[in-house]
Copies of this chain bind each other. A is one copy, B any other.
Amino acid sequence: MLLTLDLDSEVPIYQQIRDRVVEAIADGELAEGSALPSTRQLAADLAINFHTVNKAYDLLRQEGIIRINRKSGAVIRRDPGSGPPAPGYADDWQERLRTLLAEATVHGVPGEEVLQRCGGVLTSFHDQRTTKEPSV
């Protein structure tokens, strides 16, 4: 898995790692059962402290997205095909969506363009997934 960080960003490093993993799962690059590199290994590759990677993995674990065993390390637990969301998740998520869409609207992005971009992003997720399972 390719992972690039922006050390000058306001977004914390552990949050960036979490976001990139989530996006990689949505893209289909990481499927349920896929193993993530060890915290020390990834920290070495990214030239950061392994505690920061540990925090990112712990965040993903709290979200139920990965599972961590002492034996098998960090493994993807959830992908788009892992079943319906937890009760109440979608409503909480929509509050954050609302803030983001409000910002674009205030800045003058037309509603049609907002919807087109939403659809485009979702299609990019779906395309990745279907091209991964062509022979089922």
- A residues engaging B (CB < 8 A)? 19, 22-23, 25-27, 63, 65, 78-80, 82-86, 89-90, 93-94, 96-109, 111, 113-115, 117-119, 121-122, 125-126
- Nearest CB of chain B from residue A24's CB, rounded to whole Å: 9
Known: A78-B108, A86-B107. Is A125-B102 also a contact (CB below 8 A)?
Answer: yes
Report the minimal beta-carbon distance from A52 to chain B, rounded to whole angstroms: 18
Q: How far is the CB of A33 from chain B (nearest CB, A)?
A: 14
Copies of this protein, total? 2
Given contacts A98-B121, A111-B122, A117-B97, contact A22 B84 (CB under 8 A): no
Complex CA distance for A37 and B118, rounded to whole angstroms: 35
Residues of B within 8 A of A103 (CB): 22, 26, 93
Is there contact, CB below 8 Å, between B94 and A117? yes
B114 x A118 contact (CB < 8 A): yes
